[in-house]
Structure 1
Amino acid sequence: MGGQEKDPREEVIQAWYMDDSDEDQRLPHHKEPKEFVSIDTLAELGVLSWRLDADNYETDEELKKIREDRGYSYMDFCEVCPEKLPNYEEKIKNFFEEHLHTDEEIRYAVAGSGYFDVRDRNEKWIRVWLKKGGMIVLPAGIYHRFTLDTDNYIKAMRLFIGDPIWTPYNRPHDHLPARKEYLKAFLGNGVGDRAVDTAT
């Protein structure tokens, strides 16, 4: 970390270890004392991030370049809030069930904010707060969940390679190739996951 100036992404993406309380899922759930997680640590778990210009996403050259470089041909928007999302209560419950996907999950907050929770190498929850201008990519096979924060609103751009498949596989789905690939790619150094060492 050293004395470098702050990473501009930290203004739109913050992460911390969660407490174990089962209070309202939309609260920050900081530990006491707070235990923040760096953007570099997220990257070690395969979670990529950018800070983009959310007010000009139609003409943003940086977004265009990311889409071209990573093959994100599909794009749509999802607004999550009680007024806009049909079956809101049920959907929010489903989003907060721990699950994985067999493809990357790419979310860019063009308005509002929300929490993406991901597991670290030792199965502990890290809460990633995505705010307007932040874009994250969750790798295929990572266990995660989503909830709004107390503002109850996010408008997110969803990107995808090819035709979108949004199927969530609720935990446990450890037999899926995407999960095995994820373990090999990001947790394959044996830290906190001895089973990986024996899997060839």
Structure 2
Amino acid sequence: MRAYYFDNLPGDQRLPHESASQAAVSISTLNSIKVEFWNIPLQGHEEKLNAVAKERGYRNRDVITISKEGLGDEYETKLKAFYKEHIHEDEEIRYIMDGGGFFDVREAPTDEWIRIAVSAGDLLVLPAGIYHRFSVDERNMTRTTRLFKDEPKWSAIYRSDESDTNPHRIEYLNSITAAA
């Protein structure tokens, strides 16, 4: 995992969007916005992933492959949906098993994009209520285990005045303010 401030330049979302002048983002900065990260090597990952799932109360999981081959004509449409800024009312927990991509998260209170590059072995937890988006990287493929506290679902609430007042968004903002 590598985190840095997104350069905000136009261009393909699958490119790194990292410039030499952009500062790296520390683990402590990610922790301050409630983003958590582990690296769990693929070899023997099931035992460690199960331990994290038990500790955090994740009862369900599935595996999703995002690729042109797997999604066919829906590939570009799905990428656009994943890349549109949104929140969830649940944590987003992803363990990358193959390929890679970028999770962009909004730093609060600055509202700057932090880009988190993930690849095989990375486990990322985004809190409910954080604005974020996702893109595969130039490999155009990721195979990911998604963990869920309840039934598997992916319900995006796209950024709007309404999402800004969503109770999960308010709770998230209060949690980072209280921790500061």
Range into which the TM-score falls when normalised by the shorter chain: over 0.9
Measure the CA separation in 2 of the matches of 1:189 and 1:104: 18
Deviations 1:18-41 (A, max 9, x none): 112111111111134131101221
Per-residue CA distance 1:102-142 (angstroms, 9 max, x = gap): 00000000111100000112000000001100000000000
2:33 alignment partner AA: L
Going by fraction, where is helix more abundant, 1 or 2?
Answer: 2
Structure 1: how far apart are the matches of 2:37 and 2:20?
26
How many corresponding residue pairs?
176
TM-superposed deviation, 1:175: 1.5
| Percent of aligned pairs sharing the same letter | 41
**Which residue in 2 is equivalent to 1:70?**
56
Q: Determine helix, strand or coil for the equivalent of 2:145.
A: strand
Given the two structures, how large is their TM-score scaled by the length of structure 1? 0.84
Structure number with the bigger relative contact order (C-alpha 8 A, sep ≥ 6) is 2
8 Å contact kept, 2:32–2:179: no
Spell out, residue by residue over 1:7-26, the C-alpha distance to the aligned partner (whole angstroms, 9 max, x if none): xxxxxx11000112111111
Greater gyration radius = 1
**Deviates most, 132-141 or 161-170:** 161-170
Query: Where in structure 1 are there 5+ consecutive unaligned residues?
Result: 1-12, 191-200
Match of 1:29 among 11, 14, 17: 17
Task: Name the counterpart of 2:167.
Answer: 177
Q: Distance in 1 between matches of 2:23 and 2:103?
A: 16
Q: Is 1:168 matched with 2:156?
A: yes
Residue 8 of structure 1 corresponds to none
2:59 maps to 1:50? no
> Displacement, 1:56?
2.9
TM-fit CA distance, 1:64? 1.5
What residue number does 1:103 align with? 90
Indicate which of 111, 118, 128 corresponds to 1:130: 118
Q: Is the 8 A contact 1:55 1:110 kept in 2?
A: no
RMSD: 1.4
Instruction: Please name the residue that 2:143 is paired with.
Output: 155
Render the CA deviation track for 1:25-80: whole Å, top value 9, x for unaligned.
111111341311012211111111111122333xx322121111111111100111
3-state SS of paired residue (1:181)? helix
In the other structure, the counterpart of 2:80 is: 93
2:178 & 2:57 partners in 1: Cα distance?
26
List structure 1 runs of 4+ shifted beyond 6 angstroms. Answer: none
Deviation, 1:85, is 2.0
Where 2:43 maps in the other structure, the secondary structure is: helix
Separation in structure 2 between the aligned mates of residue 169 and residue 77 of structure 1, nearest angstrom: 22
